[in-house]
A and B are shown apart, each in its own frame.
Chain A
Amino acid sequence: MKKSLLTLAVMFMWITVTSANDPAYEAAMQKQIKAMNSITDLETSQQVTNGFLRISDAKSDEWLPLYYAAYNQIISSFRFDVNKDQYFDQALELISKASQMAPDNSEVTALHGFAIMGKLSVDPASRGQELSPKAMQLFDKAINLDRENPRAVTLMAQMELGMAQFFGSGPEKACGMARMGLDLFKKEAAKTTEDYILPTWGKSQAQEVAAKCD
């Protein structure tokens, strides 16, 4: 019995290891990421989300397709005229699935905070009290999980800027974090290759915050 359990465990490990190096999976991901970067309207955005969900369905042990599906839903609701709450809720559902597969993953945690920030933006006056500390805590956790994660730092900078604007205080803290984010993006760019499929987005957001500092 013990032995068969061990075999099973080894088999599982083998499956996870191979799937990470599955060329069909990587090619499909690269194709969808490329499509995501050229979204022009809501229809193509929906196609991209669907694409990631298909990959997730076929590769049910990968968190990355769910991550991108959620990310695309968040970005879409900022870009297009949709029922924002519904989109953010869908994103949160996908993120919760992703975080079950990859607990304590810095990228997933940062994206979770991003979705919460989206919910907050729908009605800041009444949701701010509950959601702004929640988002901050998630960004904080994401940074602690991976100090090199430029997205966690950038999102935190965005949040700090929003708070500073609301309370009319100076943007110094937000600026410092945005600059830190930009440095981390530089580091990240150095290691990315053509077929890199892990998240790389967020540089323009960091630049936007940094632009407020001159």
Chain B
Amino acid sequence: MSLALGQCTISGKVMDEKSQALPGVNVFIKGSFDGSSSSVDGSFELKTAIQGNQTLVFQFLGFKTQEIEIICDQEIVSVPDVHLIEIITEMNSVTISAGAMQASDQSKSVILKPLDIVTTPSAMGDIMGAFQTLPGTSTVGNDGRLFVRGGDASEVGIYIDGMKVGNAYGTTTGNVPTRTRFNPNLFKGTFFSTGGYSAEYGQALSSALALNTKDLSIRSQGDLSLMSVGGGYSHTLANEEHSITGSINYFNLGPYQGLIKQDIDFVKAPKGWDVEMAAQKKTSKNGLLKVMARTESGGMSLWQPLPGSENKILIDLKNNYSYLQANWSSALKNDWTIFTGISYSNNLDNISYDSLNVERSNELTHLKATVIKDFSDRLSGKFGMEHFIHPFSEKSVKEKLRRAFEDHETYLFTEWDYYFNKDLVLRTGLRAGTSSVSGESWLDPRISFAHQVGKNGQLSLAAGRFHQLPIENYRVLNTDLQNSESEHLILNYLLSKEGYTFRAESFYKSYDNLVTFKGTEESPEVLSNGGSGYARGFDFFFRDRRTFKDTDYWVTYSFVDSKRRFNQYKTQVHPGFAPKHNLSVVIKRFIAPLKSQLGFSMTYNDGYTYTDPNVDASEMNAKTKSFQNLSLSWSYLPKPHLIIHLACSNVLGRENVFGYTFSREANSQGTYESIPQGQVAPRFLFLGIFLTLSKDKTANNLNNL
């Protein structure tokens, strides 16, 4: 049959890889306007007056375009079934969620948003405070640092833009809780892992916390803050190519403590200042250079009571800290991405216990380079190299005694992601390290995979080995100390629907070569890698932003069962920083007529173990009463550029106790006298006024909530 009327009808059917009909596919003849769209059953039909050899194009957003050759020489041309292949992207594919919690505005599985860090009442604007409401963490109220799944605070590695931060927390003493040094407003997103994390991170047995700084600022503005505990000013200059922010802050708890009675006998209330600069510059269309520098100084002094005695010790602390980092990342040709960075931190503590004056200096230089190659939308490989220079020293000033070490560590790592299809991904990684001081080399394999279950759910599994060198205070006493080691196994289920997130996770982790010693934590002797233990448990997280109008809430429950032999303990004990049952509830509600956001947060755990020599001679034989904290906050936005924020922690004034210190010797009645380790004050009250100054009327102050 020849083409009589000069019209040719082309028909066929379009499907996906699983032979499901694809409606809405754009089917057309290349180079012409003749075309049609496939219907609900995937079938299409198009008429054309064009004759002869033609290319038929099948185009559908999110799928690879396919072309077939046809010959329009008959009235009806049927083409064989076409199967389009979906392009795998971050948005449509499964992600590995075992152990991982991402705080970003873009991520589809929302656990925490960057804004939550500043709007969670119990957090009091501290990054760690917000993370303490997430699964797998415990609140240790007189410490302030992050404790993850039976691990101590040193087991959490903290990174800014992939670069390790030495001494990320402020130095503290005498049961005064610490805070993160860095302001949450610096960051656009965070990645918090409670185990089984990427081969990119090492030297952290329990957890990796990666904070990502903001990209280019979009406008020039000034931000003024006036708070009950201090104040600050920050100024940003920005155009389309670069931006720079400089800020200066001062805080002093003195006037506040003068008004509200504290349970700690401060001689000089905590105070300090900091100066910070952060700059960003576009180096090309896909290249960005970031530089950050910060220096700060602070201190406090207080009387610490001694159990079973009228005497007190005067503790005086001075801290100086500087942090510098620069990093450059860029997308190159042929799907290569490169990242290079350098960071340096320097922490100097000067602490006096009565007449003993100790000076500690800790420096960390981190050099890092990674390259990523996307071989296709299914396979990508990452290669990285890191080097750390880490000198540490401590000296007793009067006695002129000094001890020190300088470690050089080198790491190589690689990680491969392979998508079998968009519902199944496998990630394998390997990390190798060496340390010059401990004189050892080690290898950490990691593996994880994730599988889509149903429309909104996914199941992930992660396993891996992790190494971490002991803390500096111990290494300096025995430079032969080796890495401690941990192995993780994590099973995770994540369900995310619009407005809801549910997450359940169970884990097992082993500990080996933990540091043990004779004596006490303050003066350890005969240190070795003699400890071991385990932690196991499960946790649940539920967040709902939909059911109640203008209301967002989340509920977290974590169960941890942990035993370890470590520090001075002669047997495997339940550590004091790992409460078994942990519950937290956070509720936020925006009330438009009042132009206010109200926040509520409640934290509970069943108490902390401690050793009570009055019971028997065994270790960790007692437990404190439960910890409870109810915090409230009120943010009032009368104008777009003004916020008034009022918050109160532990509103009910519960007297939380975190443990007891006992006297060394029994008194005449044969009992060991004790002093509870409590809170700095029953409540903490915060009032802040935040004002944004900008020529641009669209500037608002939501980022300072």
Is there an interface contact between B595 and A127, defined as CB atoms closer than 8 Å? no
- B105, CB-defined interface residue at 8 Å: yes
A51 to B696, CA, bound (A): 40
Q: Is the CB of A43 within 8 A of B24?
A: yes
Q: Closest residue to B642 on the A side, CB-wise?
A: A167
For B91, the chain A residues whose CB sits under 8 A away are 85-86, 89
Please determine whether A46 and B24 come into contact, CB atoms closer than 8 angstroms: yes
Q: How far is the CB of B420 from chain A (nearest CB, A)?
A: 22
Q: How far is the CB of B201 from chain A (nearest CB, A)?
A: 26
- Given A133-B218, A167-B595, the answer on whether A46 and B640 have CB atoms closer than 8 Å is no
Q: Is B33 an interface residue (CB 8 A)?
A: yes
Q: Is A77 an interface residue (CB 8 A)?
A: no
Stretch at the interface among A53-61, A174-182, A189-197: A53-61
User: Does B113 have its Cβ within 8 Å of any Cβ on chain A?
Assistant: yes
CB proximity to A under 8 Å, residues B196-246: 218-219
Residue B23 CB within 8 A of the other chain: yes
What total of chain A residues lie within 8 Å of the partner, measured CB to CB? 34
| B317 lies within 8 A of chain A by Cβ | no
In the complex, what distance in Å separates the CA atom of A76 from the CA atom of B407? 60
Task: Let me know if B249 is at the binding interface, CB within 8 A.
Answer: no
Say yes or no: is A214 at the interface (Cβ < 8 Å to chain B). no
Question: Are the C-beta atoms of A126 and B105 separated by less than 8 Å?
Answer: yes
Which of B157-165, B647-655, B697-705 lines the interface with chain A?
B697-705
Say whether A50 contacts B37, CB under 8 Å.
Answer: yes
Q: Which residues in chain B, 367-412, are within 8 Å of chain A measured between CB atoms?
A: none
Chain B residues, Cβ within 8 Å of A25: 33
The answer to whether A50 touches B24 (Cβ under 8 A) is: yes
Q: Tell me whether A168 and B23 are in contact in the complex, defined as CB-CB below 8 angstroms, given that A85-B91, A134-B218 are known contacts.
A: no
A206 at the interface (CB under 8 A from B): no
Are A54 and B590 within 8 A (Cβ)? Answer: no
- A58 engages B37 (CB within 8 Å): no
Which B residues are CB-close (under 8 A) to A132? 698, 700
Residue of B nearest to A137 (CB): B218
With beta carbons under 8 angstroms apart, the residue of B31, B61, B113, B640 that contacts A163 is B640
The answer to whether residues A28 and B698 also contact, given A46-B23, A86-B91 and a CB cut-off of 8 A, is no
Distance A70 CA – B698 CA, assembled complex (angstroms): 26
CB-CB under 8 A for A163 and B35, given A46-B23, A86-B91, A133-B218: no
Chain B 44-86, CB-CB to A under 8 Å as 1, else 0, gives 0000000000000101011000000000000000000000000
Complex formed: what's the CA distance from A85 to B33 in Å?
29
How far is the CB of B48 from the nearest CB of chain A, in Å?
A: 12
Assembly CA distance A51 to B699 (angstroms): 40
Is there contact, CB below 8 Å, between B57 and A125?
no
- Give chain A interface residues in 32-46, CB to chain B under 8 Å: 43, 46
- A54–B595 CB distance below 8 A: no
Specify the chain A residue showing the minimal Cβ separation from B218: A133
Are A129 and B700 in contact, with the CB atoms below 8 A?
yes
Contact residue among A50, A53, A167 (Cβ-Cβ distance under 8 Å from B640): A167
List residues of chain B with CB within 8 A of the CB of A51.
35
**Closest chain A residue to B31 by CB distance?**
A58
A207 CA / B437 CA spacing, docked (Å): 74
Q: Which of B578-609 contact A (CB under 8 A)?
A: 590, 592-593, 595
- Which A residues are CB-close (under 8 A) to B590? 125
- Given the contacts A46-B24, A137-B218, A163-B640, A58 and B698 also touching, CB distance less than 8 Å: no
Contact of A57 (CB < 8 Å), options: B24, B59, B113, B219: B59
From 588 to 645 in chain B, residues with beta carbon under 8 angstroms from any chain A beta carbon are 590, 592-593, 595, 637, 639-640
State which of B30, B33, B702 has its C-beta within 8 Å of the C-beta of A129: B702
| Interface check B332, CB cutoff 8 A | no
* A128 touching B702 in the complex, CB below 8 Å, given contacts A86-B91, A163-B640: yes
Within 8 A of B (CB), among A178-212: none
Q: Count B interface residues, CB 8 Å.
A: 41
Q: A50-B24, A57-B28 are in contact. Are A125 and B37 (CB under 8 A)?
A: no
Shortest Cβ distance from residue A169 to the other chain B in the assembled complex, whole angstroms: 8
A50's nearest neighbour on chain B, judged by CB, is B26
Nearest residue (CB) in A for B34 is A54
B681 within 8 A of A: no
Tell me whether B33 and A58 are in contact (CB under 8 A).
yes
B115 sits at the interface (CB 8 A): yes
Specify which chain B residues have a CB less than 8 angstroms from the CB of A169 in the assembled complex.
639-640
**Which chain B residue lies CB-closest to A122?**
B498
Confirm or deny: A19 has a beta carbon within 8 angstroms of a beta carbon on chain B: no
**Does B31 contact A90, Cβ atoms closer than 8 Å?**
no
Q: Does A136 contact B (CB under 8 A)?
A: yes
The interface bits of chain A over 2-26 (1 if a CB of B lies within 8 angstroms of the residue's CB, else 0) are: 0000000000000000000000110
Residues of A within 8 Å of B702, CB to CB, are: 128-129
| CB nearest neighbor in A for B65 | A57
**A56 CB → nearest B CB, Å:** 10
Interface pair A126/B35, CB less than 8 Å apart: no
Q: In the complex, are the beta carbons of B26 and A54 less than 8 A apart?
A: yes
Q: Complex: how many Å from CA A134 to CA B105? A: 15
Q: Shortest Cβ distance from A211 into chain B, in angstroms?
A: 21
Q: Cβ of B23 and Cβ of A136 under 8 Å apart?
A: no
Q: Let me know if B114 is at the binding interface, CB within 8 A.
A: yes
Contact partner, A90, options B61, B552, B639, B703, Cβ 8 Å: B61
Asked if B183 is at the interface (CB within 8 A of a chain A CB), the reply is: no
Residue of B nearest to A84 (CB): B498
Is the Cβ of A28 less than 8 Å from the Cβ of B35?
no
List residues of chain A with CB within 8 A of the CB of B698: 132-133, 136-137, 163
Pair A168/B33 contact, Cβ less than 8 Å: no
**A residues in contact with B218, CB < 8 Å:** 130, 133-134, 137
Q: Say whether A24 contacts B33, CB under 8 Å.
A: yes
A89 to B90, CA, bound (A): 12
Residues from chain B with Cβ under 8 Å of A90 in the complex: 61
Q: In the complex, how many angstroms separate the beta carbon of A91 from the nearest chain B beta carbon?
A: 10
Q: Is A144 among interface residues, defined by CB-CB distance under 8 A? A: no
Q: How far apart sit A133 and B219, CA to CA, in the bound complex (Å)?
A: 8
- The contact string, 1 if C-beta is below 8 Å from chain B, for chain A 144-187, is 00000000000000000001001111000000000000000000
Q: Taking the complex as formed, is B334 at the interface, i.e. its CB lies under 8 A from any CB of chain A?
A: no
Interface contact B35-A50, CB-CB below 8 Å? yes
Residues on B lying within 8 angstroms of A by beta carbon are 23-26, 28, 30-33, 35-37, 39-40, 57, 59, 61-62, 91-92, 105, 113-115, 188, 218-219, 552, 590, 592-593, 595, 637, 639-640, 696, 698-700, 702-703
Q: Which 10 A-B pairs have the closest CB atoms?
A: A50-B26, A46-B24, A136-B698, A126-B113, A28-B33, A47-B37, A54-B35, A50-B37, A54-B28, A129-B702
A–B Cβ pairs within 8 angstroms, 9 of them: A47-B24, A50-B35, A50-B59, A51-B35, A89-B91, A130-B105, A133-B696, A137-B698, A166-B592
**A-B contact sample (12 more), CB < 8 A, given A25-B33, A46-B24:** A28-B33, A50-B24, A50-B36, A54-B33, A90-B61, A126-B105, A133-B696, A133-B698, A134-B218, A163-B640, A166-B592, A167-B640
Q: Which residues of A contact B (CB under 8 A)?
A: 24-25, 28, 43, 46-47, 50-51, 53-55, 57-58, 85-86, 89-90, 123, 125-130, 132-134, 136-137, 163, 166-169
